[in-house]
């Protein structure tokens, strides 16, 4: 990360507050009146080279967000007035972001790809707890850790501004009807207001069905199908169900 910061400090040190750089090897004020502080579009092409093999790309230094910790020594509100809000990195690690030091207190699961730091409420006390790493470009969206017998909020906000929840719960199929029974012990009756889907896996963890049919909130029984084509699953009392729903 120090190399990443040094790279940009090196660029900024080569220009004045009012000047920009046109990257055809010569510092220029040609784009001073535009919104861009750097123009990467004309390298070599302005010199008459037609072969695209001579064009250049920007390679970001690698960052491991599972161990990354913000260095706040120079974040005095003037050197970095945005407190790193909008900073882009290329993450190479798979795992959970660090919450140590000055990092956000909320950890997210990351995979290799570009991420940006969202910290619109950064302040001079170097408090990054309200900031958040978010995926950009090829990075996957943060994953939801589905918890056994505990409803967890997902990233989906419904049309009525309610946040959808997901729970991992054990279900029973009787082998006769096209239903799975979740019981009312973990989910009390009438907890589920809107049912969206249920991902059903067998005891080995293999997915066997995604159900989107009708749901009875009073009994927590749902149709194993989509309402048009339903399936009678083999009798078992150890189906694992990921239930996606909204509640009060």
In a domain, 81, yes or no: no
pLDDT of residue 24: 43
Q: Could you report the per-residue pLDDT of 25-50, keeping only the tens digit for each?
A: 444 555 666 666 666 665 555 555 55
Contact in structure between 227 and 199 (CB atoms under 8 Å) = no
Tokens of 164: 């959808």
Most confident region among 88-92, 154-158, 181-185, 225-229 by mean pLDDT: 181-185
Reply yes or no on whether the pLDDT at 243 is more than 90: yes
DSSP conformation class of 237? E
pLDDT of residue 57: 73
Distance CA 208, CA 108 (A): 28
User: Which tops the pLDDT comparison, 13 or 84?
Assistant: 84
Tokens of 81: 């007035």
User: Chain-centre distance of CA 65, in angstroms?
Assistant: 13
Q: Could you report the per-residue pLDDT of 195-228, keeping only the tens digit for each?
A: 999 999 999 989 999 999 999 999 999 999 998 8
In a domain, 191, yes or no: yes
Closest CA to 131 of 78, 65, 79: 65
The parent domain of residue 160 ranges over 152-246
In a domain, 75, yes or no: no
- Specify the 3-state DSSP secondary structure of 184: coil
User: Chain-centre distance of CA 27, in angstroms?
Assistant: 38
pTM: 0.49
In a domain, 13, yes or no: no
In a domain, 108, yes or no: no
**What is the number of domains present in the chain?**
1
In a domain, 158, yes or no: yes
pLDDT band at 234 (very low <50, low <70, confident <90, very high): very high
Cα–Cα distances in Å, from 155 out to 65, 166, 198, 200?
21, 10, 17, 21
pLDDT-above-70 percentage for the chain? 70
Q: What is the mean pLDDT of the chain?
A: 79
Contact in structure between 97 and 66 (CB atoms under 8 Å) = yes
pLDDT of residue 146: 81
Name the H helices within the chain. Answer: 2-13
Pairing of strands 207-211, 194-201: antiparallel
Query: What's the CATH number where 169 sits?
Result: 2.40.30
In a domain, 231, yes or no: yes
In a domain, 133, yes or no: no
Order of strands, sheet of 62-63, starting from the edge strand that comes earlier in the sequence: 62-63, 88-91, 113-118, 132-136
- Residue whose structure tokens are 């619109």: 120
């Amino acid at each position: 990360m120090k190399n990443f910061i040094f790279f940009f400090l090196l660029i900024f040190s080569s220009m004045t507050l009012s000047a920009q750089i046109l990257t055809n090897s010569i510092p220029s004020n040609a784009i001073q009146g535009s919104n861009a502080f750097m123009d990467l579009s004309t390298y070599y092409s302005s010199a008459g080279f037609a072969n695209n093999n001579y064009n250049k790309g920007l390679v970001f230094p690698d960052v491991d967000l599972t161990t990354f910790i913000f260095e706040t020594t120079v974040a005095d509100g003037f050197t970095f007035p945005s407190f790193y809000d909008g900073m882009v990195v290329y993450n190479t690690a798979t795992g959970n972001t660090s919450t140590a030091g000055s990092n956000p207190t909320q950890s997210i699961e990351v995979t290799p790809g570009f991420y940006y730091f969202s910290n619109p409420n950064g302040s001079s006390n170097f408090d990054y707890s309200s900031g958040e790493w978010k995926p950009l470009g090829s990075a996957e969206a943060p994953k939801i850790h589905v918890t056994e017998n505990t409803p967890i909020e997902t990233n989906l906000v419904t049309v009525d501004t309610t946040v959808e929840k997901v729970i991992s719960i054990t279900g029973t199929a009787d082998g006769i009807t096209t239903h799975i029974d979740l019981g009312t012990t973990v989910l009390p009756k009438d907890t589920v207001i809107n049912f969206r889907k249920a991902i059903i896996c067998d005891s080995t963890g293999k997915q066997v069905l995604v159900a989107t049919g009708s749901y009875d909130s009073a009994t927590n029984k749902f149709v194993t199908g989509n309402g048009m084509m339903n399936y009678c699953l083999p009798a078992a009392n150890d189906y694992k169900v990921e239930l996606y729903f909204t509640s009060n």
